[in-house]
Structure 1
Amino acid sequence: MRLLVIDGRDIARHASLMDEAFRLRHRIFVEELGWERLRKPDGREIDQFDVETARHFLILDERDNLRVYTRLLPTQWPHLLSDAYPQLAPRGIPRGPQIWEWTRLAIDPKYRGDGSWSRGSGEMARAVVEHCLANGIEQMTWEGHPVWVTRFLEMGFWPTPLGPITDIDGGPVIAGVMDVTPDVLDGFAGRGIAATPLHAVMA
């Protein structure tokens, strides 16, 4: 397995892989989860935040097939919480150069395991944390189903809600913020996610 981290300004250099990533996003969030407002005729889930400031994470298998995807967005620029779902944080949205938004975790169904954790989500989460620690990112904001509060606790985070659970498009959604510290890596060790399990390449 290997991890590619692609800056938004370099998408054109990795057009084939990013096309696969956008198609995986559409398959998971539209076709599987039913987020119809994201449906696109070309089968690619691309939004207004897939710009130069975005950072894309791709886990590839031995044949360079995409298995897991996720994205980080810098909060000092427009991002989902600030521009799409500000109602999820009625008391204010944490923003700053050391705070990034974690969004769009998509896992190929063939790479999932049983239970709330999967091999793919665990490996990607650890890769994201290691990337944050290496690049001065101290906090991450996020929005998603309330079950993620429990999952983040299992990973070793201490998520803090930014507002109440809110119904969006027929489902419960909550936003939160959490610190990224070296202690978080202990949570991965406890779940059997080994240190640096992937060969990481900054593309």
Structure 2
Amino acid sequence: MITLINGHEADRHAGIVDAMFRGRAAIFRDKLGWDVHVDNGRESDPYDALNPLYVIALDDETGAVVGSIRLMPTTGPTLQRDIFAQAFDDDVDLVSATIWEATRFCVHPGNPRRLTPTRLDRATCEIAIAMCEIGLKAGLTQYIGIFEPHMQRIYRRIGWAPDVLARSTAFGTGPIAVGLWDVTEEALADIRGRAGIHEDIIIDGARERVRFLARAA
């Protein structure tokens, strides 16, 4: 299941947000070796202070945080513009009210792996479904994001492969790419079909945020 938390409400959901930051540290610093800021076991950066929208996957049985991603409008500061632009020869900086940046995607370690009926990682699929639903309600056309090339195989498997805009052979610990994910009803249907997930996955309390995004669009 998915919950949605705005950055300015983090204190009201301290346990979930704390687990998210700890999961990010475990992935981005400990596993991938990225040069990220970790304080007392929690990874965060200045963009977490800009009221992003966190899409957080929770284990259906235990309620534990099992995955997360951070969404931000491209009309404000973005990692792509501020940090990663120097990695690419081509200008891939997109600024649009209908394109949001997706960053810090990770499936958190230390939890039993849950699979969909079609044997795909459930947290990954639920996050992708939620992103599509949020995007459609908010009037988005695309998400932009940085990813490592090996992730393309996973994106293809779940039915939501990005349009690759540029690649860099070396940045930090290895090659990266920047891509665009289309937000369409067809993409949502494809992800749901491949995952075998047809029920609502955003919990009731968080669904009001989706309705708010629709009203604000």
User: Would you say same fold, with TM above 0.5?
Assistant: yes
Deviates more, 1:129-138 or 1:88-97: 88-97
Alignment check: 8 A CA contact 1:140 1:177 kept:
yes
Question: Partner of 2:97 in structure 1?
Answer: 97
Quote the residue 1:112 is aligned against.
113
Aligned to 1:63: 62
1:176 to 165, 172, 179: 179
CA distance in 1, matches of 2:3, 2:160: 24
Aligned AA (1:95) = V
Shift of 1:188: 1.6
Partner of 2:24: 25
Q: Which residue, out of 191, 194, 203, partners 1:191?
A: 194
Q: Give the % identical residues.
A: 29
TM normalised by structure 1 equals: 0.87
Q: CA deviation at 1:143?
A: 0.5
Letter in 1 for 2:147: G
Matched residue count: 200
Structure 2 counterpart of 1:155? 158
- Letter paired with 2:145: W
Aligned in 2, Cα 1:6/1:30: closer, same or farther, shift over 3 Å? same
Cα contact 2:33–2:173 (8 A) shared by 1 = no
Q: Post-superposition shift, 1:164? A: 2.4
Distance apart, 1:11 and its partner CA:
1.3
Structure 1 pair 53–98 and aligned structure 2 pair: CA distance change class (3 A)? farther
Q: Which amino acid aligns with 1:4?
A: T
Partner of residue 142, structure 1: 145
The answer for the alignment partner of 2:213 in structure 1 is none
Residue 53 of structure 1 is matched in structure 2 by: 51
Distance 1:10 1:52, change over 3 A: farther
| Deviation of 1:153 (Å) | 3.4
Return 5+ residue gaps in structure 2 as ranges: 210-217
Q: Larger % of helix: which? A: 2
- Name the CA distance, whole Å, in 1 between partners of 2:39 and 2:49: 20
TM-score (norm 2): 0.82
Gaps of 5+ in 1: none
Deviates more, 1:187-196 or 1:131-140: 187-196
- Does the CA contact (< 8 Å) of 2:37 and 2:45 recur in 1? no
